[in-house]
Structure 1
Amino acid sequence: MTDLHIRSKLSVSSSDMAHWLLQILIISSLHLISPSSQQETRFVYENFSSQENLYLDASATVLPSGLLELTSASEHQMGHAFYNKPLELSSYFSTHFVCALVPMQGNEGGHGLAFVVSPSRDFSHAEPTRYLGVSTHHHLNHHLLLLAFLLLSLTLFGTLSSMMSKTITWGLM
């Protein structure tokens, strides 16, 4: 009879141990549930032939080769390309892109590209010659982040500089 009693105690003890281990497993896995409950947005445009979720305005166009051309060789143009769905930004985000800024011969400056985070894609009041076609002067309550890549001619060294970037924020207190 003693033997039966010991087996019974071991069985209960083993069950309690399994229950306790299951609780620890669930508690330690909670951190995995939280990030996956937030929807992560990812998109990649290897070429722009398929313009899914892409909004183009002004002179922006997709060439037959699939390249996105924001402006042509004409002067005083601006073009915008926006991801067409709202993004929810948390404490951080990352982006990678490849671009080509090709100045006209004899006019090695003034070309640029801007990565913009904005609550609106309406830049109809922007000027092509100022702020790379991005301005919030008519929308003072808009907060935006602008990461500008500019191609500038440095007469001091007599060479065309490599890309220079500048982060500009408007409307942030």
Structure 2
Amino acid sequence: MEMLLSLVDKHWTGERPLHHDNNFLSQAVQILSMMEQDISSGEAEVRTLRGNVEELKEQAEIRDQDHRTETHRLTTQLEEAHISVDSLNEQLRILLEDNVSLQKQMIRLEKQYLNSMMKSSPNTEICEKQAEVDELRKKVSELREKVEEGERVKELADMLQENHR
């Protein structure tokens, strides 16, 4: 626009109109053509930029959807881990209760065994009581192993839960 105004200043003397000055008109047409090309280029660039914006919006929406999907998946995994930990805690509680009960039973049987030994009861009764004691010891040992295994599983579940935080 500045070029067009400079051209008017250069050719117009105030005496006659410029629309009959062929030199002025040809230069004005060139300037207007350049301005039109600039506008066309700008419009093309605007269209390209709008296309880029739309493409970026689509990519952002895809990333948002992927993020929501991943968040949902991780939330589901965490909920499943919580359920597993709760289940393992319940199993551990039951095993510990069984262990305590069997230990009490073993102590009671050992006392009975010792009492029977003191009273010099027949050997068959002693053998039976000893067998019961041995069986209870075996059960207690198995329960201890289960408790230890339960504690290890609980530790692993706790570690998994910590990793999901």
The reply to whether TM is greater than 0.5 is no
Q: Which has the higher contact order (CA 8 A, sep 6+)?
A: 2
TM-score computed with the length of structure 1 as normaliser: 0.30
TM-score computed with the length of structure 2 as normaliser: 0.31
Higher Cα radius of gyration? 2
Q: Which has the higher strand share?
A: 1
